[in-house]
């Protein structure tokens, strides 16, 4: 399965394809090792998710942005 490392701006910083079923926690361990950073600091900077979840989230966000601010009553 493919996993992505995402920054706080929702941009993909890195990606990896892991053949075993390690899950998101295994992919996170991989990226922590690659970045050589403490787990707590890692979590403050990045998040790890499957590429499928990333694409779904991006699609949802894009659909929301298509409607603009008129959906948000407080901003109207």
- Whether residue 71 is contained in a domain is answered as no
Residue 24 CA to residue 17 CA, distance in Å, equals: 11
- pLDDT by residue for the chain (76 residues), tens only, comes to 999 999 999 999 999 999 878 999 999 999 999 999 999 999 999 999 999 999 999 888 766 665 665 555 555 4
How far is it, in rounded angstroms, from Cα 33 to Cα 67?
40
Residue 31 falls within a domain, yes or no?
yes
**What is the domain extent for residue 10?**
2-51
Domain count, the chain: 1
Residue 23 lies in a domain: yes
73 part of a folded domain: no
Residue 60 domain flag? no
Contacts of 64 (CB under 8 A, 6+ apart): 71
């Amino acid at each position: 399965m493919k996993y992505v490392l995402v920054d706080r701006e929702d941009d993909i910083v890195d990606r990896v394809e892991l053949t075993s079923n390690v899950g998101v926690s295994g992919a996170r361990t991989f990226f922590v090792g690659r970045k050589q950073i403490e787990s707590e600091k890692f979590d403050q900077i990045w998040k790890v998710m499957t590429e499928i979840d990333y694409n779904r989230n991006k699609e949802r966000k894009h659909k929301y942005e298509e409607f603009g601010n008129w959906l948000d009553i407080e901003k109207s």
